[in-house]
Structure 1
Amino acid sequence: MLQTQEEISRLKTIVQSILDEAKNQGASAAEAGLSQESGLSVTARLGDVETIEHHRDQGLGVTVYFGQRKGSASSTDLSPESIRETVSAACSIARYTSEDEYSGLPEKEQLATEFPDLELSHPWDLRADEAIALAIECENAARGYHAEISNSEGASVNTHQGIRVMGNTLGFLQGYASTRHSLSCSVLAQRGDSMQRDYWYTVSRNAHNLESAVDVGRKAAERTLRRLQGRSLSTRQCPVMYAAEVASGLLGSFISAISGGNLYRKSSFLLDTLDTQVFPEFVRIHEQPRLKGALGSANYDGEGIATQTRDIVSNGILRGYVLGTYSARKLGMRSTGNAGGVHNLTIDPGEYDYLGMLKQLNTGLLVTELMGQGVNTVTGDYSRGAAGFWVENGEIQYPVEEITIAGNLRDMFKNIVAIGNDVDYRSNIRTGSILVERMSIAGQ
């Protein structure tokens, strides 16, 4: 930890030198960021090592302002000469760009001033041979699970650690270390003419919180086997339940629709919906940016503005947008501390676990995989390729493939019936399974 703090201090000194150089070259304001990252990635397939990658990267970015004219440049070279050249390039761009009345550094009073330890850094002292053994153990657990597991796309182990420092000429200068580790496995199964693939993964900032290699392999095999001999469906309308691992996509589409860029461009189906009913009354969606050890935790956003615990939706009503400084100014509002995205977006779970959600679905479609990018943020029209399972009387009957599910997000959000407590914590969006009352299915 002492070495980490020393490195953060060293990088802070470099960032400050970048800001000083920008002022020396005539900039009225500037902001700069610097990152250093390293890691190990190992993939094993069919019991043998396929790839071993050690990676180490660094980079800096600087944005300067001449009044309200803006220029940016970046480099991977941290030498004093390179810093001068990078700042000079940004200044040259700024001198020739048009003025933009909304550009500039964030409001000083919004900058973060408190920096509690969020426990984001847990380095994993993992040697290459240990990572190889872990990947092979994971894949072997999957391949040996059942005779119908016929092939493998491999198992991968990844460990990453990095330091990020940012500062601006308003006096903000902060940095932090973080880690991210993962283990994944993907296998194929065959039964007669039916062949399927599926996968499972585990991810955490702390390697001690990862699922075991055997569990990851076993789940990958189980998920693959249950998809064999899938059927299509006739075209119909029915209830649709999004499994927790894909339900985050629905919330991602919602966040995109209330993000500043789409709002000020008037390219969102949720334009002018602040303080109106968007979801059923039981829905609460909120940010929890300071959860210790969580994947989306941060004390400040990409501009240095303090993150905040807040309700974005409560009682089904949209309470706030997702804004950085520029989009906020365009909309005549204030930044919500979301330059770079949301932080541990959470939809409050309901009373039902996974099996209870299937009972609530009763008869309908359980979606476990989505394909394609058929989401129109302007209109809300939604159409995605899907795979999953047909459910009757709360029990899975058979796997389903080669179908398309469709609807309009505005209606889908309002017609959410239940949210499960089977929460998936493996991303920045934390949600259980989500049951939508009715959607269209296009099949045979």
Structure 2
Amino acid sequence: MNPNSQSNFEELVQLALKHAGKLGASSAAAEVSESSGLAVSVRKGSVETVEQTNDRSLGVTVYAGQSRGSASTSDLSAKAIAETVEAAWNIAKYTAADPAAGLPELELLATYLPDLALHKSWDISADEAVRLAIEAEQGALGYSKEITNSEGASIDISEGRFVFANSLGFMGGYPYSRHGISVAAIAGKGDHMQRDYWYTSNRYPERLAKGHDVGVYAAQRALSRLSARRIPTGKYPVLFEAPLALGLIGALTQAISGGALYRKSSFLLDSLGKPVMADHIQIHEDPYIPGAMGSSAFDDEGVQTQTRDLVQDGILQGYLLSSYTARKLGMQSTGNAGGSHNLLLSSTLTEASDDLDAMLRKMGTGLLVTELIGQGVNYVTGDYSRGAFGYWVENGQIQHAVQEITIAGNLKDMFMQMVAVGNDVITRGAKTSGSILIESMAVAGS
């Protein structure tokens, strides 16, 4: 990336805002961004794809009172920016007014803008990335003779920067990066084949797991599935492996997002200040963790983000609101335009020794779920039904893999029946959790 981009971008957004003002816009916001990336994939030691990307764009939103228009361009010349602002203005002039539309309240805009260290370049060539991908895949293929094939390995390198500003005087931006390594392995032959994968991602390349180790773990996961069979239909305790437990956090954030609430399409309507999870569950939001994927001092509208407890002792403390959705609900923005920031789910009952083995012992007999299939979640009712793969557990010990099953319940009940959270913590994107044990779910098997 161009090291001079930041100051140049500031000039470009100011140019866009100035032109919007000349046209008669009551207010406006603009963002200029650039990104670059390298994506490499290999399969069975041969290169499949090498893709390099470079993108630059400007997006602008202008307001004619409470009517809004937006437009964007990849041409950052002064002439193209002026034309883009004019296009947005013309849309705004002929758009119906929306009482909830407009920039955030001035007092909510971010004034605390610390450097959260969200960028670190991964300075490797395409050839070096190919070698790393081959090494990662070899970690899987070389692990066991029962690893008979591969769906490949990939290296993804991306970085970018942006500047956002609005006519209220806010301006902010920062560089960012995200890098990753992934491997998918296939075990077995004929009708007895199983596939699994693993990946590592981080803003800092040195914090990634070693490619070889990612491949080995993908192979181990694939091999452990070879004993898969069905189990009888019934009601059992269900332990969500940590990466899948993050999906339960995602279900909560979907239900408490402003868009779902004002449209009345959430099973958690009017739940503020009420119990929504078991009383030992805490969910903390912290936008200020240096280097974390979900960190930012301001949201997509320039509103100051905040450190807070979303759920405390099982009780919902707050929603996830943008300026628009907050106005629709008669509330105030929570600095969540664009989503949540670094959510950590924890339990007051968790002990330092509560690794996955300890969680299996707590469950005793039941189902460990390691993969979910399909999108069977109704966020209006909370009904939950997903195809699943996992492991049957008896007396705290894994007996065999389980396939061709469906797990079902209602998210309201599942949240209240969280009986334990493991210390086998994993972070993916902006969410962190250990494995989560649900007291009972319906399992449809044979």
| Fraction of identical pairs, as percent | 55
User: What 5-or-longer segments of structure 2 have no aligned partner?
Assistant: none
Does structure 1 retain, via aligned residues, the 8 Å contact 2:148–2:189?
A: no
Matching residue's letter, 1:373: Q
TM-score norm. by structure 2 comes to 0.98
CA–CA distance in structure 2, aligned partners of residues 117 and 395 of structure 1: 46
CA–CA distance in structure 1, aligned partners of residues 207 and 10 of structure 2: 31
Question: Which residue of structure 1 lines up, in the alignment, with residue 388 of structure 2?
Answer: 386
Question: Which residue of structure 2 lines up, in the alignment, with residue 42 of structure 1?
Answer: 40
CA–CA distance in structure 1, aligned partners of residues 95 and 26 of structure 2: 15
1:113 partnered with 2:115: no
State the shift of 1:193 in Å: 2.7
**1:253-292 counterparts in 2 under 5 A?**
253-292=251-290
State the shift of 1:229 in Å: 3.1
**1:22-61 counterparts in 2 under 5 A?**
22-61=20-59
CA–CA distance in structure 1, aligned partners of residues 340 and 108 of structure 2: 17
RMSD, aligned CA:
1.0
CA–CA distance in structure 2, aligned partners of residues 214 and 365 of structure 1: 30
Does structure 2 retain, via aligned residues, the 8 Å contact 1:289–1:297?
A: yes
Name which of 287, 300, 303 aligns with 1:302: 300
CA–CA distance in structure 2, aligned partners of residues 54 and 290 of structure 1: 31
Listed one character per residue, the Cα deviations across residues 51-70 of structure 1 (whole Å, up to 9, x for unaligned) are 11111011111110001011
Question: Which residue of structure 2 lines up, in the alignment, with residue 364 of structure 1?
Answer: 366
Question: Which residue of structure 1 lines up, in the alignment, with residue 158 of structure 2?
Answer: 160
Question: Which residue of structure 1 lines up, in the alignment, with residue 188 of structure 2?
Answer: 190
Question: Which residue of structure 2 lines up, in the alignment, with residue 313 of structure 1?
Answer: 311
Does structure 1 retain, via aligned residues, the 8 Å contact 2:31–2:165?
A: yes
Name which of 121, 124, 129 aligns with 2:122: 124
User: What 5-or-longer segments of structure 1 have no aligned partner?
Assistant: none
TM-score norm. by structure 1 comes to 0.98
Does structure 2 retain, via aligned residues, the 8 Å contact 1:204–1:426?
A: no
Listed one character per residue, the Cα deviations across residues 119-162 of structure 1 (whole Å, up to 9, x for unaligned) are 10111111111101100001011001111111111110011110
Does structure 1 retain, via aligned residues, the 8 Å contact 2:118–2:291?
A: yes
State the shift of 1:213 in Å: 1.1
How many pairs were matched up?
Answer: 442
State the shift of 1:47 in Å: 0.6
CA–CA distance in structure 1, aligned partners of residues 390 and 162 of structure 2: 40
Listed one character per residue, the Cα deviations across residues 414-442 of structure 1 (whole Å, up to 9, x for unaligned) are 00000111111132111110000000001
State the shift of 1:181 in Å: 0.6
Does structure 1 retain, via aligned residues, the 8 Å contact 2:27–2:64?
A: yes
**1:7-156 counterparts in 2 under 5 A?**
7-156=5-154
Listed one character per residue, the Cα deviations across residues 176-231 of structure 1 (whole Å, up to 9, x for unaligned) are 00011100000111156311110010000000000001100100100000001311
Name which of 411, 424, 427 aligns with 2:426: 424
SS in 1 for 2:427: coil
CA–CA distance in structure 2, aligned partners of residues 260 and 141 of structure 1: 44
SS in 2 for 1:261: helix
SS in 2 for 1:436: strand
CA–CA distance in structure 1, aligned partners of residues 172 and 88 of structure 2: 22
Name which of 397, 400, 412 aligns with 2:399: 397
